[in-house]
Structure 1
């Protein structure tokens, strides 16, 4: 089943989460005419802790979800909290995998998902950050992160839940290729795999086919796909392109930018405001800004939904698919969130079913 990620909603306590599901998820399900709707839950750390400590509360939440026709196959445990603060930027990468709080949060999510998991799920997936932002990071940090990962892996063994590391530009595991080198050294690949975010993949200018071949060669399973699209601009020097990009330069989230140079080198800056001074603009740019799957941005910009469909056409196995457009609140204009989420899920069902992904 295709899910939509609830990190688009700002609630960080259980009553607020249920209220937002009533305000958005249930109307989306009804608008789609669906008996059930997949939701990829985001639970801020205090909520996850409270649920993990209270089996009765988990049972009540499962009952509440069932009553609303909502099914859970996956959790997004990348943001720890504060994901809708006025400024998020680098704070989304804290705590890192070197910090005990990250381990505790992930363990709580394992406990919660085990009890919330839909009855027809073959497994549950939890997506998590790619260790940390790239600086500072040391050999000792690598060792500590690996030890934390082993602790979480031990907790996964008796459960149907699997962990999915999500590479992101600018992080320690910046690309899928970085993850394919790191994970076989430190992870039990039966229990830990990849969350393949197709916006992040597009931003890196990686070839989707080569990416999937590399994962197969490394024995790494894609546990989860975050169905997402990045901004692409072919001629970033042109004034029309700069003007169009300016509408997406907002202060809450980090919008990493990559430029594909003529020789194939990928040039990088860490945020959109740095791009004009930090990149030459001779080659195309891609910007980490999750775009609605069903809509194209204004020309001369476009969305990289072709990367998403190429990835899903080439995948083996049956990964969870989660539509993760968390940027609705910072998109230009004032989009209707219910209609927007419903339209994305319609697009996903129509387009991804052609690639053999069950809806």
Structure 2
């Protein structure tokens, strides 16, 4: 979906396909017809953005064979879809039975991460619509926080320099600019926007992660400035009274084995790497908790829990409510549908949920003065 900001810039809204498990080209193309096109039709729009997640094996195929890349682009066109951003954080197996810390490998100390990211940039240059000259790729915040030595930091810095060189060469070759955003996340080497700014990183700003870290949206955006490559529109799980027995029972229903759910307590430096540990007593529970569990934007959990949707609304207002749009790519990223306490049971129900999240985001952009725009 496309929106025109009052400053004249074009803002793209997409949903991220890392919610789907396919890791071969046929599976990726199948997702477009099974989920993305129905979501577009439910929204009643002629064109819908998708933020593709392409596992390592799919990227290998697309880089090696221009005909297969053309096949993917033709499938996008056939279903009324476009791509301006890719999610390059997960490498493979993101919807496996257990993901947890595996999602951080390979990290930016490993040549495989550099190759994968440059391959995604090349693929995206071939998928961008003809009237769009800039794309974005999100990636992990260097690595999980430990181990992290000076030697590892130096290796990651060298790989980032090679990334910049490769992106510049790609732009000279194709005329398409691809920007890479490192995504701050609790528990990682780069946890906060202050750490990202200190390292001079381009940033994928994930509103769920921002909320879990109890960061102020206006201050975060101010310190990042033009380095914000894209926004991931997402909301975290919030508990006002985590020591309350009913609240703890509700939180326990979100403790599941697939993904890591870092938990932080307001007003403290306390945190745990997963919700299970917090519930087992590793956090005091004297103040509110926020949990890295992406909950649907349009459907916050029932009381006594709630979502950090208001934080996302504040982020949107800061990024798009002023005289200038401070980023041009928005990717709704709720990859946790299948592990919700009450998950959607059919492909149609999932398409309904994706469409509802996009409609929620669309309404807020329109309230901020952006106008929905359809290509001729």
Could you tell me the TM-score, scaled by structure 1's length? 0.94
What is aligned with 1:162? 179
Distance in 2 between residues matched to 1:334 and 1:208, nearest whole Å: 30
The one of 80, 83, 108 aligned to 1:69: 80
Note the C-alpha offset of 1:18.
Answer: 0.8
- Tell me, which stretches of 5 or more residues in structure 1 are unaligned? 188-192
Looking at structure 2, the residues matched to 201 and 128 of structure 1 have their Cα atoms a distance apart, in angstroms, of: 16
Matching residue within 320, 342, 354 for 1:333: 342
Mapping of 1:193-272 within 5 angstroms? Answer: 193-216=202-225, 220-261=226-267, 265-272=268-275
Q: Structure 1 residue runs of 4+, over 3 Å off?
A: 356-359
Is 1:107 the counterpart of 2:121? The answer is no
1:353 positional shift: 2.5
For the 8 Å contact 1:318–1:357, the answer to whether it is kept is: no
Aligned partner of 2:307 in structure 1 is: 303
How far off is 1:35 after superposition?
0.3
| Local SS of the residue matching 1:110 | helix
| 1:171-201 Cα shifts (integer Å, max 9, x gaps) | 0001111111112xxx6xxxxx210000000
Question: Is the CA contact (8 Å cut-off) linking 2:240 and 2:288 kept in structure 1?
Answer: yes
SS of structure 2 residue aligned to 1:289: coil
Deviates more, 1:312-321 or 1:228-237: 312-321
In terms of mean alpha carbon deviation, does 112-121 or 339-348 score higher? Answer: 112-121
CA positional deviation for 1:120: 3.1
Larger RCO, structures 1/2 (Cα 8 Å, 6+ apart): 2
Query: Structure 1 residues 12 and 113 mapped into 2: Cα distance closer, same or farther (>3 Å)?
Result: same
Does structure 2 retain, via aligned residues, the 8 Å contact 1:313–1:356? no
Q: Which blocks of at least 5 consecutive residues in structure 2 are unaligned? A: 1-11, 320-324
Instruction: Say if 1:114 and 1:124, in contact at 8 Å, map to a contact too.
Output: yes
Q: Indicate if the aligned counterparts of 1:6 and 1:40 stay in contact, CA closer than 8 A.
A: yes
Q: Is residue 321 from structure 1 mapped to residue 326 from structure 2 by the alignment?
A: no
How far the C-alpha of 1:125 sits from its partner, in A, is: 0.2
Secondary structure in structure 2 of the residue aligned to 1:172: coil
User: How far does residue 266 in structure 1 lie from its aligned partner after superposition?
Assistant: 3.2
Please list the CA deviations of residues 190-235 of structure 1 after superposition, one character each: whole Å capped at 9, or x if unmatched: xxx210000000000011111112113xxx4211000000001111
Contact 2:218 2:318 in 1 (8 A): yes
Aligned residue in 2 for 1:190: none
Following superposition, the deviation at residue 338 of structure 1 comes to 1.1
Q: TM-score, normalised by structure 2?
A: 0.89
Deviates more, 1:300-309 or 1:347-356: 347-356
- 2-structure distance, mates of 1:237, 1:65: 48
1:181 is the counterpart of 2:198? yes
**SS in structure 1 opposite 2:147?**
coil
- Aligned ranges 1:3-14 → 2 under 5 Å: 3-14=14-25
1:195 is paired with a residue whose SS is strand
Once residues 317 and 248 of structure 1 are traced to their aligned partners in structure 2, the CA distance between those partners, rounded to angstroms, is 34
* Residues 74, 333 of structure 1: alpha-carbon distance in 2 compared, 3 angstrom cutoff: same
Does 1:292 find its partner at 2:305? no
1:275 aligns to 2:278 (yes or no) = yes
Once superposed, what is the RMSD of the aligned Cα atoms? 1.2
Which residue in the other structure is 2:4 paired with? none
